[in-house]
Amino acid sequence: MQKRKLGTSGLEVSALGLGCMGMSHGFGPPKDKQEMISLIHAAVDRGVTFFDTAEVYGPYINEELVGEALEPFKGKVAIATKFAFEPNPDGGVGPNGGPAWNVLNSKPAHIKEVAEASLKRLKVDVIDLFYQHRVDPKVPIEEVAGAVKELIQQGKVRYFGMSEAAANTIRRAHAVQPVSAIQSEYSLWYRRPEPEILPLCEELGIGFVPYSPLGRGFLTGKVDEKTEYAANDIRNSLPRFTAENRKENLALVDLLTKFAEQKGATTAQVALAWLLAQKPWIVPIPGTTKLHRLEENIGAASLILSPADLAELDEAAAKVEVKGERYTEAMEAMSYR
């Protein structure tokens, strides 16, 4: 697979990464560990060199999985992980039945504690890319960037990233410690980064990593209003995934499917190729737990869309009004701060 540089920082990775969250967290019960290790190995064999995890996924078990799976490839792949959350002391239940991790904490001391713990779970000497998972309004972003800068100076972190941050916050952080990558949701059915975030990334030389590039599976064309999810699948709580909204949103999938048929590709491949065509410093991280889906997604890197193709897709997509918010109000409140 061809490589891409995430901005001007020097971080070079495969054009498509692998989001590992769903292997342990968020989309039903955790999958079999050995099967997921085999899947991660298959990704490496097929040229994927960029893997995404976070301490909160599980919590902890996803980092442990990724660390064990990628230990044989130390120095040959890049692992991104994240800080910013801690368990809710007032209780609450997370998607896997454990305590809810919905309290933000980006105090410098906490960031450094998370880094030390993540290094051990990932079985590495340095974290390749360390994202602030969500902006903590209680801690000035300059202090957050300064804490990561110290970790970089100590050789414990290579690159600093931010997730779902607002443009002005990114600019302030970047002035203290250059930000190498912004990770935010971006796809044909969620385009909020386009007006401000992508232009800012271009201006400052920051790479962009779209998460949920396939709309949490919806843009694969394998989901409809009759699809049922496991009890602890986060999609059960998302407004965009009510049966009524899924039925309405199939209009977008239908146009993607028709376009894909013309190209001899799959719906998912078109959705990913569209992202890859937006900017040369964009690296989507589709997640999967199935080998055939992994291979399908990787195939998107070879699908070249012309300017005319992109114009056709944009024109068609503009005619479809996506129904339902992507997150609950409480979840959305943590973004773009």
**Type and span of the H or E element at 3:** strand 3-5
The β-bridge partners of 52 are: 19, 80
- Determine contact, residues 332/184, Cβ cutoff 8 Å: no
Cα 82 to Cα 128, 163, 218, distances in angstroms: 11, 9, 25
C-alpha span between 95 and 116 (Å, rounded): 25
Distance CA(180)–CA(78), nearest Å, equals 13
Rounded to whole angstroms, the Cα distance separating 191 from 207 reads: 17
- State residue 12 phi and psi, 5-degree precision: -115, 130
Alpha-carbon distance 59 to 286, whole Å? 20
The C-alpha angle with vertex 34 and arms to 32 and 38, in degrees rounded to 5, equals 115
Query: Which region, left, alpha or beta, applies to residue 138 given φ > 0 means left and ψ of -120 to 50 means alpha?
Result: alpha
Tokens 């190209």 found at:
263
CA distance 313 to 262: 12
What is the C-alpha separation between 246 and 128, in angstroms, rounded? 37
Catalytic residue among 57, 186, 190, 211: 57
Alpha carbon distances (Å) from 128 to 105, 117, 166, 316? 21, 15, 23, 39
> Is 57 one of the annotated active-site residues of the chain?
yes
What single-letter DSSP state applies at residue 123? T
Burial of 290 (0-12, 13-18, 19+ CB in 10 A): exposed
Q: Which two tokens stand for residue 251?
A: 């209009």
Nearest residue to 207 via CA among 284, 318, 273: 284
Could you give the residue numbers annotated as active site? Answer: 57
